[in-house]
Amino acid sequence: MIPNAITRFPQFPVFKTLKQCTQVHAYMIITGLILNPQNPKKLLLFLTDPDHGNLHYARLVFRRISNPSLFLWNTFIKGCYKNHAAREAIDLYREMRRSNMSLDMHTFQFLFKACARAVAEREGMEIHGLMDDALRVFDEMPDKNVVSWASMVAGYAQCGRGQEAVRFFSEMILVGVKPDSVLFVSVLSACALLGNLRMGKLVHGFLEREGIEMTNNLAVALINLYTKCGDFVASRQAFDRMPQKVLAAWNVMVDGYCKFGDIRSASLLFEQMAERDILSYNSMIIGYMQSNQLDKVFSLFEEIKAFGLKPDKFTIASLLTACANSGSVQRGKSLHAYIEEHSIERDIFLDTALLDMYAKCGRIDQALHVFQGMREKDVMAWTAMISGLAMHGHGRPALDIFSKMQSSGIKPNDITLIGVLSACSHTGLVKKGKYHFNQMPFLYNLTPKIEHYGCMVDLLGRAGLFKEVEELIETMPMKPNGVIWGSVLGACRVHNHVSLAEKAANHLLVLEPEKDAVYVLLYNIYASGARWVDAINVRKIMEERGVQKIAGLSSITVDGTVHEFVAGDRSHPQFEELEAEMRAMAIKLREVGYAPKVLQVALDIDEEEKEGALFGHSEKMAVAFGLIRLSPDEPIIVMKNLRVCEDCHLVIKLVAGIYEREIIVRDRTRFHHFRDGNCSCMGYW
């Protein structure tokens, strides 16, 4: 438009609006029709105005001006900030420094706002370097007023450098500058960031002695300080003293209670709120998730929609995590559809939560589909995909993804290598596991932690390489913990290695005497070897210490409702129908030659009773319920709180073939995909 306009109307003032005139004027400068712009100050001021200017033209005009004055530099920096180009404002500042030019005080404030905006928007910038530059400018200032001091304190607080923010505040007091309420907000935020309750209380006492007006922002900063430091008596006092409690204060209190696990206090405050925003709901959703009240999590989501609030990506990601924890793929799919229907912005954070949900709900195919469709992938996304494949027993595909990750230039972290070693462990890739473990310091610049040693103990133990297991434990640079010895004991149970099992159990009985797993595993090892005296002694020690065996619990989601089954429990409202289905299932199993593995029952009862006890295991009940309630084309997805036993594994494998159903079971360690009478673990779990 503008080139034609200039050709037809070289006298730009004939245009109807000032905006048209100014843009044509700018174009003439940019193209060289005006070689030496006279007094471009007004032009640049107009072009950087966010209401009717044009930053693109302003940028081009500025670059055409030879030796721009200090006023023009400052004008353009402020204009960039006002037009939400924080990164460009900061780059211009650095360019000014190289040209030995200085900011005026007003622009200095804008620069700090640009820094804060860049931090808030998580721009990939050297914020710490910016603050170092800002400190040099501050030191050169002849007149340092409260605004400049406040800017430094706020800048350091916003950049996460709380110690420097507190130091600047202390220096300001020493030189006699009287702080205002805005500065107190910044220094209290720094104390909260550091978790420095003592310093925060000193600042609180100082502002009261100085008679500083308690603004809403200052009250919220105080509440935030005390909640972050866990002093809820003080935070509640500050909250209760507010004559008019603003929404931010309610949100800080609710969020604080949730993060410290006091969900009761959080929910009581939440119910009293006259006004709520999405931050209020996000805090409560996280609180209910942490207390495992997943039904309330999804009730809050329905409430959000009913009140016309728009969920943000953190809301949806939290809900996806709740679905992952409960294994509710149906709810997860509904959330995926909601994201698409309501055009919620997709980014790495949300996509990673989505693929993690599918992986943990048994749909690794869908997880892979989400992963492949991601435009950007960070280390967390790659790690989630590797760990998901490992959990499903897809060791080689997980290692292929790891190779692609390295080729893409993404550096793996500690968690990535845990996923890689787990992939090797779940599929018996001993050589690959050893290679990646041994190369951690050299290829990835990572020092193996106890979690990595745990993966290696599990890998070697599953493969029956007990000599190497003992050598690895003896050469570990840290003391083995309960996880290490638990892996050893589990491997001994599979391979019936009694002597090492006893050694591992002795360590566990000291490290974790309250946990039932060690007693149960050791009892079963003795029972398998017909060492009944030793088995009875284990039972006696367990009773003397008051250790109760955790009941097996399995869940299955049908039509959005989670149904839970406990071994031997008859309380389910549809138990009669369920029992009939299990009897029919038992008949079909016997027809194909099923023989119960009665040694799996750690009870002193006869064989017939043992068989009945086995058939009451929770995962068998959940599978039978799925046969009743789910259509033949739907996979039966069961979540189990303990490791699936050998008998249940055999039964579900046979049921998948008999009924021609896909059955997916997630136990405490991994997923099992049963189809056509086979399992994805190939008997290696």
Q: Do 569 and 616 lie in a common domain?
A: yes
Residue 11 has pLDDT above 80, yes or no: no
pLDDT average, residue stretch 172-184: 86
- Residue 111: per-residue pLDDT: 64
Lowest-confidence segment of 44-48, 386-390, 470-474 by average pLDDT: 44-48
Q: Do 490 and 592 lie in a common domain?
A: no
**Which pLDDT band holds residue 548 (cuts at 50, 70, 90)?**
confident
pLDDT average, residue stretch 610-627: 75
Domain C-terminal end among 496, 527, 544: 544
- Residue 130: per-residue pLDDT: 62
Q: Do 583 and 667 lie in a common domain?
A: yes
- Residue 558: per-residue pLDDT: 87
- Residue 38: per-residue pLDDT: 55
pLDDT average, residue stretch 168-194: 89
pTM value? 0.75
Cβ neighbours of residue 546 closer than 8 Å, sequence gap 6 or more: none
Residue 227 has pLDDT above 70, yes or no: yes
Query: For residue 477, is it within any domain?
Result: yes
Residue 436 has pLDDT above 90, yes or no: yes
**Over the stretch 417-435, which tens digit does the pLDDT of each residue have?**
999 999 999 888 999 999 9
pLDDT average, residue stretch 437-466: 93
Query: For residue 472, is it within any domain?
Result: yes
The sign of the dihedral angle between the CA atoms of 194, 200, 203, 204 is positive
One-letter amino acid for residue 521 of the chain: L
Lowest-confidence segment of 29-38, 113-122, 311-320 by average pLDDT: 29-38
CA–CA separation, 195 vs 186, rounded Å? 14
pLDDT average, residue stretch 508-532: 85
**Over the stretch 141-171, which tens digit does the pLDDT of each residue have?**
667 778 778 878 887 887 778 898 899 888 8
State the total domains in the chain: 2
Domain C-terminal end among 476, 510, 544: 544
- Residue 358: per-residue pLDDT: 95
Query: For residue 84, is it within any domain?
Result: no
Query: For residue 474, is it within any domain?
Result: yes
- Residue linked to tokens 């190939």: 682
- Please state the φ and ψ torsions of residue 109, each to the nearest 5 degrees: -65, -40
On whether the CB atoms of residues 390 and 422 are closer than 8 A, the answer is yes
On whether the CB atoms of residues 226 and 234 are closer than 8 A, the answer is yes
Q: Do 573 and 540 lie in a common domain?
A: no
Query: For residue 520, is it within any domain?
Result: yes
- Residue 350: per-residue pLDDT: 93
On whether the CB atoms of residues 111 and 82 are closer than 8 A, the answer is no
- Residue 522: per-residue pLDDT: 85
Q: Do 602 and 671 lie in a common domain?
A: yes
Query: For residue 657, is it within any domain?
Result: yes
Output 515 or 354, whichever has higher pLDDT.
354
pLDDT average, residue stretch 545-569: 85
**Which pLDDT band holds residue 617 (cuts at 50, 70, 90)?**
confident
CA–CA separation, 174 vs 629, rounded Å? 74
Q: Do 540 and 595 lie in a common domain?
A: no
**Which pLDDT band holds residue 392 (cuts at 50, 70, 90)?**
very high
On whether the CB atoms of residues 492 and 500 are closer than 8 A, the answer is yes
Lowest-confidence segment of 318-322, 515-519, 611-615 by average pLDDT: 611-615
pLDDT average, residue stretch 5-20: 41
Percent of the chain with pLDDT over 90: 42
pLDDT average, residue stretch 358-387: 94
Q: Do 518 and 595 lie in a common domain?
A: no
- Residue 609: per-residue pLDDT: 38
Lowest-confidence segment of 151-160, 361-370, 660-669 by average pLDDT: 151-160
Q: Do 570 and 510 lie in a common domain?
A: no
**Which pLDDT band holds residue 12 (cuts at 50, 70, 90)?**
very low
Q: Do 638 and 525 lie in a common domain?
A: no
- Residue 8: per-residue pLDDT: 38
CA atoms within 13 A on the CB side of 496: 7
Q: Do 486 and 533 lie in a common domain?
A: yes
The parent domain of residue 610 ranges over 553-679
Residue 284 structure tokens = 């409560």
pLDDT average, residue stretch 173-185: 87
Domain C-terminal end among 510, 544, 578: 544
CA–CA separation, 559 vs 480, rounded Å? 45
**Over the stretch 278-295, which tens digit does the pLDDT of each residue have?**
999 999 999 999 888 888
Output Rg (C-alpha) for the chain, integer angstroms.
Answer: 33
Query: For residue 216, is it within any domain?
Result: no
**Over the stretch 66-102, which tens digit does the pLDDT of each residue have?**
777 777 877 888 888 777 777 777 777 778 777 766 6
**Which pLDDT band holds residue 642 (cuts at 50, 70, 90)?**
confident
Q: Do 539 and 559 lie in a common domain?
A: no
Q: Do 528 and 559 lie in a common domain?
A: no
- Residue 538: per-residue pLDDT: 87
Strand residues in 449-593 grouped as ranges (E): 553-558, 561-566
Query: For residue 284, is it within any domain?
Result: no
Q: Choose the most confident range, by mean pLDDT, from 550-554, 609-613, 620-624.
A: 620-624
Percent of the chain with pLDDT over 70: 84
Residue 127 has pLDDT above 60, yes or no: no
Output 638 or 105, whichever has higher pLDDT.
638
**Over the stretch 463-502, which tens digit does the pLDDT of each residue have?**
999 999 999 999 999 999 998 998 898 888 888 888 898 8
CA–CA separation, 611 vs 95, rounded Å? 80
pLDDT average, residue stretch 532-538: 87
